[in-house]
Amino acid sequence: MEELKKRVFLVDFPDDLDHAIAYFRGILRDTRLTTVLTVQNLTTIELDWQFKEGWNTIGALLSHISALQHYFRIIYIEKRAMTEEENDSLIPALDMGIHLPSLISGKSITDYLTELNYSLEEFLESLSTLTFEDFSEVLQNQDYGECCNLAWILFHMIEDEIYHRGQISIILKLLKENEAWQK
């Protein structure tokens, strides 16, 4: 994400790229950049802070965002089951809940930003294998019940990151309020 330090308010539609893919690439990059800009200066203490036991931390949410992007790439674009190694590394961040204590890890923001960048770049690379027909093909989906298509699934992945960025903003407000109260 090094090359993207400032939001760009245009989605680029190059002549050599399917416009559906170009659109998704543009909103994926902007969604991720906005997340990065929200968290880029946080300390490890801020990343691991919990309002109450059992609550998500910012670091756990960032791990969840990265893991979810890997999951969507593997399941919906590569159309394969996760390997045992992928399950072991992704399930804690995907499910969170009982795994939350293991997600409070003392990692630095640099570590999280590296993970976020890697998951995005892997995802963007996988998009280059798709056609418009892939986006519009109706899929039977156990996660979402009714039939859906890849375009809707990718929208949902982006929506999920934005939702979790909202949670991050709330946690930051609670953290600042807690710091002010302790002074």
Q: Is the per-residue pLDDT at 180 higher than 80? A: no
| More reliable by pLDDT, 47 or 145 | 47
Give residue 1's pLDDT: 41
Establish if 124 belongs to a structural domain. yes
Q: Is the per-residue pLDDT at 120 higher than 70? A: yes
Give the three-class secondary structure for 57.
coil
| More reliable by pLDDT, 19 or 98 | 98
| More reliable by pLDDT, 17 or 57 | 57
Provide the phi-psi class of 61: left if phi over 0, else alpha when psi is between -120 and 50, else beta: alpha
Q: Is the per-residue pLDDT at 2 higher than 60? A: no
Which whole-number Å values give the CA distances from 150 to 3, 29, 126, 170, in the listed order?
28, 18, 13, 30
Establish if 7 belongs to a structural domain. no
What is the pTM (predicted TM-score) of this model? Answer: 0.89
Q: With bands split at pLDDT 50, 70 and 90, how would you rate the model's confidence at 151?
A: confident
Residue 82 DSSP label:
P
Mean pLDDT calculated for residue range 135-147: 72
Establish if 11 belongs to a structural domain. no
Backbone angles phi, psi at 62, to 5 degrees: -65, -40
| Average pLDDT over all residues of the chain | 89
Establish if 4 belongs to a structural domain. no
Give residue 159's pLDDT: 96
113 is in which domain, residue-wise? 19-182
Give residue 148's pLDDT: 82
Give residue 147's pLDDT: 78
| More reliable by pLDDT, 3 or 28 | 28
Give residue 142's pLDDT: 63
**pLDDT tens track for 67-111:** 999 999 999 899 999 999 999 999 999 999 999 999 999 999 999
Q: Is the per-residue pLDDT at 9 higher than 90? A: no
Q: What is the CATH number of the domain that holds 85?
A: 1.20.120.450
Establish if 14 belongs to a structural domain. no
Establish if 128 belongs to a structural domain. yes
Establish if 77 belongs to a structural domain. yes
Domain tally, the chain:
1
Establish if 150 belongs to a structural domain. yes
Which whole-number Å values give the CA distances from 108 to 12, 50, 114, in the listed order?
33, 16, 10
Q: With bands split at pLDDT 50, 70 and 90, how would you rate the model's confidence at 143?
A: low
